[in-house]
Structure 1
């Protein structure tokens, strides 16, 4: 069973992680430390050798606390716990409803592979035998002998990982969990500031500052404080100043460990990261703290991919990385406008320039613009940083990236209205997709919402929405917030917007279908099976060629160790009982209602593609399809009598 929220972790089950935290007055920072603003994150140290709470000698990492149970904190903590069964990892959040969902069978966020990892780390696995041959799906290859061979290998290597105790805990008791931890990770949302000085560009640090204050107040002396949230450069100095005021004479190290997760591939990004950046003070104490955190990652991340920097470089690296990626998307989107005007095809252009090794093919797919919680706010944060330092030209350059993104989205919506004779009155428009990208339920900064706002101004008969990942109840709650922009938007409230759980009902009698999110379900070309590979494409859990793979499962490797195989399909009976959901769980409401059952999280592939012929047969004439993600083969749609307007194409 899962550990109770405030259960003390069994000390006998804890194994040394082989790393230590700053342990002496000479090594550690204290409340009187000053960050040298002109340096690369160095600091001076003044200690008190008589402090009885000052840790002495090296000690293992036994407890990690992650503050923030959102899209970053939840998956990050789950993977750390899964890969470090000897460490107790606690995720805390003041939102008790969110914590209840993390402790249930319906997690508050959707990411491929997340449910399986949470299930193992949160609930534990009993010692289970190999699956009998009769339990394998019909036609599955016989691999029982291979599995037995790996069990023999495990015995030779001294690996006993066929069972494990729970070590991932979700709790609303923030202060207690912070006090018990050796490392405290801050992973809260840092959106763009919307009011006051810097509005529209600066980062809103309200939530981060509040959590940092709680951490500084309750953290155990000698703990390591880690910035996981995307924060402005010099945030570590702000935390250090808090320590100077609230905990003078006590010792903490502050690290920057930015996340580089993409929605829809977060688990893949955590298991196979391109790099892990750890920024610290350049003192011996800072380097020791960085090595301590690196030890947590080294269990499954190659040491060559763990980069240590000074703390300012680490804080700035995340803003620059996302800004560069956003810049590429805005660049290719600007070219798509030229393609539409000249008759060139954007997909052909992207393929051509992507083959240039100096450019590469990543982030060159044109669309209606980027969304999500990161790109826009990080670009704007970089703009604000440049402008606040008097670098106006630098700020103007990066601000144009956001401007181009908004231009692309508005250009797409204008194209829809123009093709429908400049009027939507009495017409039904269907949006396929609501999340900002495929394989996620994340709707933050989703282009769909802005598109809906523009379409509502045209007084349509109906705006239908279908998304295969997003819960209709969640979409409806967000649409209701549009009341501040005018009359009620939802059909139930007298407006035009209706959210569907069936794609064919959503498209029935539509005058136009808009593909807003690039879900594979919406493609009209055959999906290619993913080959068995040690370097899988984004969105698929990594497989190890040296390990057997049970049919219907995904294998998650730990540097090639057979001990970390996740035989989810066969281990299900050996998992502890999964907790029940709260009575207000929206997914339970959906399952118990008249809508179709929620997609089972552990069974994402194969995807069921929509039957476009069926959709075409039930559309109003003329039949319009607006491809905002360049995923439709136009010739096939033309054969069905559907007119296609696609980003970066001259059109019908």
Structure 2
């Protein structure tokens, strides 16, 4: 087993640390946020991720997983150091803010006096690993005995434990000129996964960095494509759900990520495609990624169109209307409201004069911190009490299973917009609801006032 330090105990770092301990390694989580460390040491995950708290507690109790704020302790303890800190979008720019990644290397490297490998997991612009390798050679007392490799993460919120312990592939980027221990150490760390025949792809550093950003750009493009088709379907009176079903049978296309709705959000796809565009511009390859500007524009337009749809359904004005918004997290099985389309739409509805009440199974606390002026309810029924319009904006199973009659007894008007096309349209209409989807028959009525 390997002694591992994981720097950063946010979503990525905490998940990776807990799962590496689950594989039997001795793991030390490192963070400057002592309040977060105290929670983790008590076996509490400071965010919602299904299954993670059980893994965390089991390994804390077993003594395989500990936490510290001391870089000195981490340097003395670990043979493998994983960087799992955030790379948010720079304020006012498209580019990624790499200060936290840089801080880990600048602080850790001078403490490395013996052979070690630093594995980057954070999503970074291509060329970052090569730059950090040069800094390591300058800063680390062990010099060339300290290697840097890039091991990108492919976590889906809501499935992070599964994606770490049973990934669809492992990617490792190494410096071809100086690679020595990195690949062998990675194979030791992931031995159980490799024994289960998980594909292990070894590349150069730049390719490994591009794998994550390219994958995110492709997924974002696929989502925005079907949302663009939804706009065409609304204009033509066609059904985007049937369209997606039909083209999804083509194995070259596939059905996954062809669900029209209010677009993507969260802490990864939006900022990653923007950082990708920014980096391409720095490299002189900006023309190669100009299509991502339209991908981003289509995605953001979905939010505006949903607000317009709500206004049109309500007769052309939101002023004084009572609107229930079901869903605040950017996706189900998460409490993440970063760049959430649902929460953004709720805020826009309020700005245009509606009284908005939001309910989400897990994201209320985070939502209230970002949008304190919205109303929040403890249940879907409470949120819908007296509502003139109900919007489903996050496809939680709880919302899919709602009883139209139960909800119909508390609303003022049985009118619903399914912003994720996740409800049984016929079931709701049979119960007397005026039902509107995205890119489905009837949605063209949204165009009436424009």
The yes-or-no answer on 1:424 pairing with 2:301 is no
* Cross-structure match for 1:536: none
The yes-or-no answer on 1:179 pairing with 2:76 is yes
The alpha-carbon deviation at position 452 of structure 1 amounts to: 2.5
Which whole-Å deviations, capped at 9, do the CAs of 1:606-638 have from their partners, x for residues lacking one?
Answer: xxx3333111111113x2211111111111111
* Cross-structure match for 1:517: 394
Which whole-Å deviations, capped at 9, do the CAs of 1:195-218 have from their partners, x for residues lacking one?
Answer: 4xxx1x211112211122112133
The yes-or-no answer on 1:69 pairing with 2:69 is no
Map residues 325-364 of structure 1 onto 2, 5 A cutoff.
325-364=219-258
**Contact 1:83–1:300, Cα closer than 8 Å, also in 2:** no
Farther off after superposition, 222-231 or 266-275? 266-275
Which whole-Å deviations, capped at 9, do the CAs of 1:31-54 have from their partners, x for residues lacking one?
Answer: xxxxxxxxxxxxxxxxxxxxxxxx
The yes-or-no answer on 1:111 pairing with 2:49 is yes
**Contact 2:28–2:66, Cα closer than 8 Å, also in 1:** yes
The yes-or-no answer on 1:452 pairing with 2:244 is no
* Cross-structure match for 1:123: 61
Quick one: distance in 2 between partners of 1:116 and 1:182?
A: 26
The alpha-carbon deviation at position 368 of structure 1 amounts to: 0.5
The alpha-carbon deviation at position 424 of structure 1 amounts to: 1.8
**Contact 2:112–2:141, Cα closer than 8 Å, also in 1:** no
The alpha-carbon deviation at position 389 of structure 1 amounts to: 2.4
* Cross-structure match for 2:370: 478
**Contact 1:182–1:220, Cα closer than 8 Å, also in 2:** no
Q: 1:234 aligns with which of 127, 130, 134?
A: 127
Query: Which runs of 5 or more residues in structure 2 are unaligned?
Result: 444-450
Quick one: distance in 2 between partners of 1:178 and 1:332?
A: 48
Quick one: distance in 2 between partners of 1:184 and 1:222?
A: 11
**Contact 1:334–1:408, Cα closer than 8 Å, also in 2:** no
Q: Let me know the Cα RMSD of the aligned residues.
A: 1.7
Farther off after superposition, 168-177 or 629-638? 168-177
The alpha-carbon deviation at position 249 of structure 1 amounts to: 5.8
Quick one: distance in 2 between partners of 1:293 and 1:105?
A: 27
* Cross-structure match for 2:150: 256
Quick one: distance in 2 between partners of 1:214 and 1:392?
A: 33
- The 3-state SS of whatever aligns with 1:300 is helix
CA 1:178 to 1:642, structure 2 compared with 1: closer, same or farther past 3 Å? farther
TM-score, scaled relative to structure 2 = 0.94
- The 3-state SS of whatever aligns with 1:632 is coil
Quick one: distance in 2 between partners of 1:315 and 1:392?
A: 17
Query: Which runs of 5 or more residues in structure 1 are unaligned?
Result: 1-16, 18-60, 125-165, 481-489, 491-496, 524-608
The alpha-carbon deviation at position 103 of structure 1 amounts to: 2.3
**Contact 1:628–1:646, Cα closer than 8 Å, also in 2:** yes
The alpha-carbon deviation at position 176 of structure 1 amounts to: 1.8
CA 1:479 to 1:179, structure 2 compared with 1: closer, same or farther past 3 Å? farther
Q: 1:191 aligns with which of 88, 93, 99?
A: 88
The alpha-carbon deviation at position 390 of structure 1 amounts to: 2.4
**Contact 1:278–1:294, Cα closer than 8 Å, also in 2:** no
**Contact 2:329–2:343, Cα closer than 8 Å, also in 1:** no
* Cross-structure match for 2:30: 92
Map residues 64-463 of structure 1 onto 2, 5 A cutoff.
64-84=4-24, 87-124=25-62, 166-195=63-92, 199=93, 201-247=94-140, 250=143, 251-283=145-177, 285-301=178-194, 302-303=196-197, 305-460=199-354, 462-463=355-356
Task: Determine which structure has more spread, i.e. the larger CA radius of gyration.
Answer: 1
**Contact 1:342–1:650, Cα closer than 8 Å, also in 2:** no
The yes-or-no answer on 1:632 pairing with 2:431 is no
Quick one: distance in 1 between partners of 2:36 and 2:99?
A: 20
**Contact 1:465–1:506, Cα closer than 8 Å, also in 2:** yes
